[in-house]
Structures are given as structure tokens and as C-alpha cells.
Amino acid sequence: MASAVNNDVARAASLIAVAVLPAAGLSGTAYLHPAEFSAGFGTASLISAGLCLAGGALAAVTVRNPRAQADPAPQQLPHCALDAPASLAVPHR
């Protein structure tokens, strides 16, 4: 499920980025004029940097990791069937 959410967010972000490019000054013919393309690229880079900062700030505020609970008595688990208790032992055939 996490992979699907990650894919969906990445796809939505790329679609939004393509939609914002004309607002930054990168139109379909901007590549024909180097000065216009350079200015649009600079603006698009600043917009991207601002969105990355906003996303980082949002993640820092909203993402929480619960503290790990200490196990009061760790159990010794058997490493093979020979050391296992009778209830866990594999029956011989």
C-alpha cells in the first residue's frame, strides 16, 4: 500500500510540475530563445526549491515516530528444532 501511495504522489507531483512550468516562463517555444529559457529555468528552480522547503517543513511538523517500547523480558528463541520445547519440535517421520 505504501508503494502505491508513493507512486501516486510522485505521479501527481510530476503532473503539477509540468502544469507550473508555463507560469515560470518555460513555454513550448522558450527553448528557441536562450535568454528567455534561462530566465524561466531560474524561476522554475526557485519555485521548486520553495516547494521542497515547504514539503520538508510540513513533514517535520506532521511526521511522528512512536518511541520503541522496551521488552521487559526478552525470550530466548530456539535456533533449531533440536533445542525447541516439545510443543514446537518438528515431529520425526
Whether the CB-CB separation of 67 and 75 falls below 8 Å is answered with: no
Identify the band that residue 8 occupies on the pLDDT scale cut at 50, 70 and 90: very high
> pLDDT, tens digit, for every residue of 32-87?
888 887 888 888 888 888 988 999 999 999 988 877 776 655 666 655 666 555 55
Spell out the domain ranges in the chain: 29-64
Report the C-alpha gap between 39 and 35 in whole angstroms: 6
Identify the band that residue 26 occupies on the pLDDT scale cut at 50, 70 and 90: confident
| C-alpha cell read off for 50 | 520553495
pLDDT at residue 3 greater than cutoff 60:
yes
Per-residue confidence (pLDDT) for residue 7, from 0 to 100: 92
Phi, psi of 6 (to 5 degrees): -60, -45
Report the C-alpha gap between 90 and 80 in whole angstroms: 10
Report the C-alpha gap between 57 and 29 in whole angstroms: 35
Identify the band that residue 28 occupies on the pLDDT scale cut at 50, 70 and 90: confident
Per-residue confidence (pLDDT) for residue 25, from 0 to 100: 74
Written as one string, the DSSP assignment of 11-44 is HHHHHHHHHHHHHHT--TTGGGSHHHHHHHHHHH
